[in-house]
Amino acid sequence: MTFKQIASPATIHRKLELLREIGMVETEFVGSNRHTKYLVPTPFAYKYFNAFSQLMQRALKTA
């Protein structure tokens, strides 16, 4: 992970672990390559952000 302009590697790792713990993302491997992991949103994350999007749209209509 080389996103030093965003945050330190330790901070990024800690935040990703938190997202895994609360069920927002999970890791997937493609094929037999175990060195490359992909982070994918879980169904819970899709549901959460869909609800958040609807609330934001409603808030913008009343603003």
In the chain, DSSP assigns E strands to 25-29, 37-41
Question: Is 53 inside a domain boundary?
Answer: yes
Confidence of residue 4 (pLDDT cuts 50, 70, 90): low
Question: Is 1 inside a domain boundary?
Answer: no
Question: Is 3 inside a domain boundary?
Answer: no
pLDDT tens digits for range 11-50: 999 999 999 999 999 999 988 888 888 999 999 999 999 9
Confidence of residue 63 (pLDDT cuts 50, 70, 90): confident
Instruction: Please tell me the total count of domains within the chain.
Output: 1
Question: Is 4 inside a domain boundary?
Answer: no
Question: Is 31 inside a domain boundary?
Answer: yes
pTM of the model: 0.75
Sorted by sequence, the CB contacts under 8 Å of residue 7 that are 6+ apart come out as 15
Which structural domain range is residue 20 located in? 9-62
